[in-house]
Amino acid sequence: MTISKDILDELLKGVERPEDLLGDAGLMKELKIKLMERMLGAELTAHLGYEEGKDAPPGQTNRRNGASSKVLKSQDGELPLAVPRDRDSSFEPELVKKGQTRIDGIDDKIIGLYAAGLTVRDIQAHLLDLYGLKVSPDLISRVTDAVLDEVREWQTRALDRMYPIVIFDALRVKIRDADSRTVKNKAVYVALGVTRDGSREVLGLWTAENEGAKFWLSVMNELKNRGVQDILIAVVDGLKGFPEAITAAFPDAMVQTCIVHLVRHSLNFCSWKDRKAVAADLRRIYSAPTADMAEAELDAFEEKWAGKYASIAPAWRRAWQEVIPFFGFDPAIRKIIYTTNAIESLNRVIRKTIKTRGSFPTDEAATKLIYLAIRKFEKDGRNVREWFAARNQFAIMFGERFDA
């Protein structure tokens, strides 16, 4: 559609400054209002079957009945509209529906600001400064609460039959307890799957105050109910009761302790000046070619450091049954399991989003924000690095389980 030069010249008469065109009382805003009112009038004409200023068809009692005032919130600020009415109130406009108060993606802007970690007060101030919009906290809450419907749909969606790798990790989030009204550290657990083609997919998230075998078994059963029949390698962070829950639901799954978390846990016992040396000696353990050689390196580590850091070697020995599988893998698979780049990048996105919040008022408030961070993470859509080599190894090691 092309607007003629004559019409443009007529419209721009008297426009001398930028604010005459783009300001709060400028031409663009006025034009938008007038065009919307004209379109609403055309909708009513179609509904009633006769033009404004003409007579209604014989026998028709429903007629035009003036207009009602409505104020819409938009990125251009507030738009006062005169919405035409009919006598029997059967007119349902499509352009601006009954009860509608927002247009131009204001909801998307609110959700985008919320996803960036802004508080309700911050969002109010941002919309007022940028768009001149006075938005109530209740409106912002209603808009962001709509995300919970999307979360429920996402959390119950069907999953793939098989995942070569599923990495389970936990984040600690401060959430106000509904009963005691005190702020508690709750764990939000995330399951990140690597699909057969190497793409990253967050399978779900769960919030719990206390984890254990019963909790983890309910998570595993949920994954099964959503279609997961097999997990080849489950990478966990030494969570209590987790290996037993995984093997109860997926008997053939190989449970592997996350080496990165084990190393970090070990370094927590060290003074700052010893960390580099301890980390180098720990590397000798997990980079050993075989499990036997790794155990020999662990013995050597304990002999060297037990006098100063007696807790480190026993921590590795307690987790050894879940460390051993690591040494049976080709370097291509070891690298994916050890570095856990996928879960680390996901955690960075989540932490960046929630770091501005001291605490959350409810579990649902935390879930909303974390889900929006996950949605941003998945939009990036990068595959696991060097997956091609790892995929060939999986095909050889797991045979039909990988190819089925």
Phi, psi of 77 (to 5 degrees): 95, -155
291-305 helix and 275-286 helix, angle to the nearest 10 degrees: 160
Do 148 and 45 belong to one domain?
no
Number of structural domains (the chain) is: 3
Do 97 and 19 belong to one domain?
yes
Query: Tens-digit pLDDT profile for the chain (404 aa)?
Result: 566 677 667 667 777 777 767 777 777 777 777 777 887 888 888 888 888 888 888 888 899 998 888 887 776 677 888 889 999 989 888 777 787 777 766 777 777 778 777 788 888 888 777 666 677 788 778 777 878 888 899 999 999 999 998 988 888 888 887 777 788 888 888 898 989 988 889 999 898 766 667 888 888 999 999 999 999 988 887 666 778 888 899 999 988 888 887 888 899 999 999 999 999 999 999 888 898 999 999 999 999 999 999 999 999 998 888 888 878 887 777 777 765 556 777 878 888 888 777 788 888 888 888 888 888 888 776 677 778 878 888 888 888 898 86
Other CB atoms within 10 Å distance of the CB of residue 11: 15
Do 207 and 267 belong to one domain?
yes
Do 97 and 112 belong to one domain?
no
Nearest by Cα to 24 from 71, 66, 70, 77? 77
What's the residue count for the chain?
404
pLDDT at 10 (0 to 100)? 67
pLDDT at 20 (0 to 100)? 67
Do 54 and 145 belong to one domain?
no
What share of residues in the chain are helix, strand, coil (percent, to 5)?
50, 15, 30
82 CB-contact burial (10 Å; exposed 0-12 / middle 13-18 / buried 19+):
middle
Task: State the Cα–Cα distance between residues 204 and 157, nearest whole angstrom.
Answer: 10
Task: Sort strands 254-257 and 230-236 into parallel, antiparallel or unpaired.
Answer: parallel
SS3 label, residue 301: helix
Q: What does the block give as tokens for 332?
A: 């291509």
Contact 316, 285 (CB under 8 A): yes
Other CB atoms within 10 Å distance of the CB of residue 24: 11
Do 149 and 178 belong to one domain?
no
Do 152 and 214 belong to one domain?
no
Residue range of the domain that includes 117: 105-156
| Cα dihedral value 247, 251, 254, 255, nearest 10 | 0
Contact 385, 337 (CB under 8 A): no
Place of tokens 């649902």: 364
Do 129 and 274 belong to one domain?
no
The CA-based angle 241-374-167, given to 5 degrees, is 30
Task: State the Cα–Cα distance between residues 22 and 19, nearest whole angstrom.
Answer: 5
Contact 240, 230 (CB under 8 A): no
Task: State the Cα–Cα distance between residues 372 and 110, nearest whole angstrom.
Answer: 12
pLDDT at 12 (0 to 100)? 73
Do 147 and 75 belong to one domain?
no
pLDDT at 263 (0 to 100)? 87
Q: What does the block give as tokens for 154?
A: 């996402």
Residues in Cβ contact with 145 at an 8 Å cutoff, skipping those fewer than 6 apart: 364, 368
pTM of the model: 0.69
1 CB-contact burial (10 Å; exposed 0-12 / middle 13-18 / buried 19+):
exposed
Residue 72 pairs with which residues in a beta bridge? 79
Contact 62, 84 (CB under 8 A): no
Do 93 and 120 belong to one domain?
no
pLDDT at 366 (0 to 100)? 86
Do 207 and 279 belong to one domain?
yes
Do 177 and 241 belong to one domain?
yes
Task: State the Cα–Cα distance between residues 42 and 85, nearest whole angstrom.
Answer: 12
